[in-house]
Structure formats: C-alpha cells, structure tokens
C-alpha cells in the first residue's frame, strides 16, 4: 500500500520535490478559491521572487540557480505539509496557505522573511522579495488573484 501511495504522489511531484508545476498549482488554487468562497473561508498566497541585485553585473546562471534551489529547500522545510508550493514560472514560487486570513498570512510572511535573512543571498548578489495576496481581500475569484500574483513583481 505504501508503494501505491508513493507512485500516486510521484505523479504530482516535479523535479523539485514538493513544488508543483504551474498548471497543477493553478488548478488546485482554483479549487481552494471555490472552497473558500463556498464556506466563507480565507486563503493566502505568499509569492517568493528571487532577483539578482543590480550591484551584481553578471551571473553565469549557476549562482541564480543555486539561490533558487536554496529557496525551494527552505520553503519545503518551513511550510506545513498541508500548504501547497507551486512554481509560477521564471523562478517565481508561491505558497498557498488555506484558511489563512490577512493577519495569519502576514505572520507567515514575516516568519519567512526572517528565515531568509539568515541565508547568504545578499552577499552572493541576490535578494528574495516576498509578497502576499489574500482571498477575498485582494480578489473575489481565481482570475483576480492570478492577476495579482503574476503582477506581484511589478
């Protein structure tokens, strides 16, 4: 039975372990938004955007990829098993926090930002921006939330 579960779970995992690909993450986000609307719950998304600092003129790609992999590792270690981690493409990650309102999402955001301070991203020429989008405050449906999430960088 345990082998069946691993096979089943393996179908939904990407090469980054618990990180879901963009399409699957958006599908599950849509289901969670519908559930939150139906049961009058909240949900929160934390968006993580690693960036090369302007002081770093060139990056051969290895440093940025290492930064991204470190961020993935930190998130998979730090979030609850019930929280979903998804790739938004272009090295953007999101964490879906079901039942989290703006205050709880703010606490989670603050906790993650403090965790990121302890890692050597800045000295290696990178920074990780963390943004928060909540249902229903920032959007009343999945489309509104996705526009906010995908526009979080701008």
**What is the pLDDT averaged over residues 122-147?**
91
Residue 152 has pLDDT above 70, yes or no: no
Bridge partners (DSSP) listed for residue 43: 98, 135
Residue among 143, 10, 33 at smallest CA distance from 96: 33
Q: Which helix (H) or strand (E) holds 34?
A: helix 22-39
What are the pLDDT digits (tens) for 71-99? 999 999 999 888 999 999 888 999 999 99
pLDDT at res. 132 = 96
Q: Rounded distance, CA 52 to CA 59, Å?
A: 8
* Span 21-150 CATH architecture: 2-Layer Sandwich (3.30)
CB 21 within 8 A of CB 14: yes
pTM over 0.75: yes
Tokens of 13: 């995992």
Q: What pLDDT is stored for residue 137 in this prediction?
A: 93
The enclosing H or E element of 46 equals strand 43-52
The number of beta carbons lying within 10 Å of the beta carbon of residue 60 is 7
* Inter-CA distances, 12 with 6, 16, 40, 81, 150, Å: 10, 11, 28, 14, 22
Domain boundaries, the chain: 21-150
């Amino acid at each position: 039975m345990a082998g069946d579960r691993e096979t089943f779970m393996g179908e939904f995992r990407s090469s980054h372990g618990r990180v879901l690909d963009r399409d699957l993450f958006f599908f599950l986000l849509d289901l969670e938004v519908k559930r939150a609307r139906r049961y009058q719950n909240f949900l929160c998304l934390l968006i993580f955007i690693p960036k090369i600092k302007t002081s770093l003129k060139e990056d051969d790609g290895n440093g940025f990829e290492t930064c991204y992999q470190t961020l993935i590792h930190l998130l998979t270690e730090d979030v609850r098993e019930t929280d979903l981690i998804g790739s938004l493409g272009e090295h953007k990650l999101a964490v879906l926090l079901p039942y989290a309102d703006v205050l709880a999402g703010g606490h989670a955001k603050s906790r993650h930002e403090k965790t990121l301070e302890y890692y050597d991203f800045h000295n290696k020429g990178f920074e990780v921006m963390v943004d928060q989008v909540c249902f229903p405050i920032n959007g009343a449906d999945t489309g509104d939330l996705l526009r906010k999430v995908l526009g979080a960088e701008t």
